């Protein structure tokens, strides 16, 4: 009997949706779903949601819930991680300390000073999970949804021999958004997408095998409601000629063009990022509201009808291809760059097409990115490489240097100001960073 394990099952939206998707595949109708979380209350809600899905679908699956990771992983064929390390109070410092120095971050979970410190806190826990998988289910397919995606995957893939890749919904989500803009049915759209997580670009985007970029450009230029839906990304598209995968709120942080002055934040980041008013305070407010009201939301979900229709997240399709029916499935995953994108750093974490099959996960060669995209993406990829090296060696100097070259940070601060900011962020994170032994 197939066993799929969810580590961080208290990430209730992900758990609910991924389990729903998984059970729609015949190969998993009678599988064992093992849920693990350190929060027993959220774990109980997760178990009750999965039981409701099983009952509504008349599936033969069983569900187990435990706070013991070894128990959850023993004999697993597939593993999904959706963990969060650190409480809200330390997470606030990821945004508030840079803000104090003038670096206006919107979300802060992927790269830049906020993303790097989130990575430093999260990596020890993720490496512990890797070691447990190596011990209790070494042949499992391991799918990570935890951010910061690229740095975590890069570290795990270099420090373990597991079949691990990272997944993000932005590739298929943005592809569907663009199809909606031009009035195309999604089943008539094909695309080739590559780069790094949250900075991948559609190198081609076709409707019935015909280039659809002229239609997208026309929609962005001539329809204000479309331009205003994604102001940052649409500006990037109009000037860089290719569409980026992740939202305007995120992409406003990843470059030097949109958040370095108050007038630019007002013009591009306040109304069309999807995080209105597009400032860090809204991100914190959103997190606080979720923390306070999550039990009420769970009760509402538990009392509402179950939608059993399969969604578009990659995980269940990958498991079906690798440990289920064997039907081939191509997706965009996060893997190390060994001969995949010619003009990005060798060995860095890239997001490229990957073929899932009974043979495992096989990344597909893309070739070079267009020059203007390679310039942009190289900066982020090299900062991530330096941050990973610093995390694995416990070298705070490398962390400082990685943040020195972050595009938004370097557009706003001097080197001395960056050093002071990084020192303050290390102090705020001291108890979460055992790998940095010098921190007293």
Helix (H, G, I), strand (E, B) or coil at 163: strand
Q: Which helix (H) or strand (E) holds 404?
A: helix 396-404
What is the per-residue DSSP string for 162-214? SEEEE--THHHHHHHHHHHHHT--GGGEEEEEEEETTEEEEEEEEETTEE-HH
- Known binding residue 334? Answer is no
Closest by Cα among 430, 439, 416 to 93: 430
Closest by Cα among 111, 115, 118 to 195: 111
Q: Alpha-carbon torsion 35, 41, 46, 51, what sign?
A: positive
Return the residue matching tokens 């059970």.
23
- Known binding residue 135? Answer is no
Cα atoms found within 13 Å of the Cα of residue 121, Cβ hemisphere only: 28
- Known binding residue 31? Answer is no
Structure tokens at 9: 């099952």
CA distances for 220 relative to 181, 242, 258, 265, 279, angstroms: 9, 13, 18, 20, 24
**Which of 169, 250, 271, 438 is labelled catalytic?**
169
Helix (H, G, I), strand (E, B) or coil at 151: helix
Decide: 246 and 175 in contact? Cβ < 8 Å: no
Active site includes 169?
yes
Q: How far apart are CA 225 and CA 237, in angstroms?
A: 16
What is the per-residue DSSP string for 213-245? HHHHHHHHHH-HHHHHHTHHHHHHHHHHSS-BS
* Bind-site residues for substrate: 147
* Bind-site residues for Mn(2+): 168, 198
Active site residues: 169
């Amino acid at each position: 009997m197939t066993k799929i394990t969810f580590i961080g099952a208290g990430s209730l939206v992900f758990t609910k949706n991924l389990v729903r998707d998984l059970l729609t595949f015949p190969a998993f109708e009678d599988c064992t779903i093992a849920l693990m979380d350190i929060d027993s209350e959220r774990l109980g809600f997760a178990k009750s949601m999965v039981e409701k899905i099983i009952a509504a679908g008349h599936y033969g699956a069983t569900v187990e819930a435990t706070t013991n990771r070894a128990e959850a992983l023993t004999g697993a064929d597939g593993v999904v991680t959706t963990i969060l390390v650190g409480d809200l109070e330390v997470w606030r410092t990821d945004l508030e300390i840079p803000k104090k120095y003038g670096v206006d971050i919107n979300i802060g979970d992927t790269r830049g000073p906020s993303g790097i410190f989130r990575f430093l806190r999260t990596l020890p826990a993720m490496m512990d999970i890797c070691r447990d998988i190596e011990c209790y289910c070494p042949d499992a397919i391991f799918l990570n949804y935890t951010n910061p995606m690229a740095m975590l995957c890069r570290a795990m893939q270099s420090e373990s021999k597991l079949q691990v890749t990272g997944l993000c919904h932005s590739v298929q989500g943005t592809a569907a958004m663009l199809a909606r803009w031009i009035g195309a049915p999604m089943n008539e759209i094909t695309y080739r997408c590559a780069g790094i997580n949250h900075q991948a670009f559609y190198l081609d985007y076709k409707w019935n095998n015909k280039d659809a970029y002229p239609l997208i450009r026309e929609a962005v230029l001539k329809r204000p409601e479309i331009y205003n839906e994604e102001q940052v990304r649409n500006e990037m598209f109009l000037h860089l000629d290719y569409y980026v995968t992740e939202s305007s709120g995120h992409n406003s942080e990843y470059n030097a063009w949109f958040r370095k002055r108050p007038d630019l934040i007002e013009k591009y980041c306040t109304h069309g990022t999807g995080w209105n008013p597009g400032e860090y305070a809204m991100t914190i407010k959103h997190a606080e509201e979720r923390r306070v009201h999550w039990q009420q939301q769970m009760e509402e979900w538990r009392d509402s009808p179950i939608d059993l229709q399969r969604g578009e997240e990659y995980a269940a399709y990958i498991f079906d291809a690798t440990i289920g029916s064997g039907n081939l499935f191509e997706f965009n995953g996060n893997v190390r760059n060994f001969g995949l994108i010619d003009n990005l750093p060798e060995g860095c974490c890239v997001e490229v097409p990957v073929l899932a099959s009974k043979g495992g996960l096989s990344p597909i060669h893309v070739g070079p990115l267009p020059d203007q995209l390679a310039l942009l993406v190289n900066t982020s990829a090299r900062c991530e490489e330096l941050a990973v090296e610093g995390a694995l060696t416990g070298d705070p100097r490398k962390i400082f240097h990685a943040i020195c070259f972050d595009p938004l940070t370097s557009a706003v601060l001097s080197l001395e100001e960056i050093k002071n900011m990084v020192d303050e962020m290390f102090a705020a994170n001291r108890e979460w960073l055992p790998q940095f032994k010098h921190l007293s």
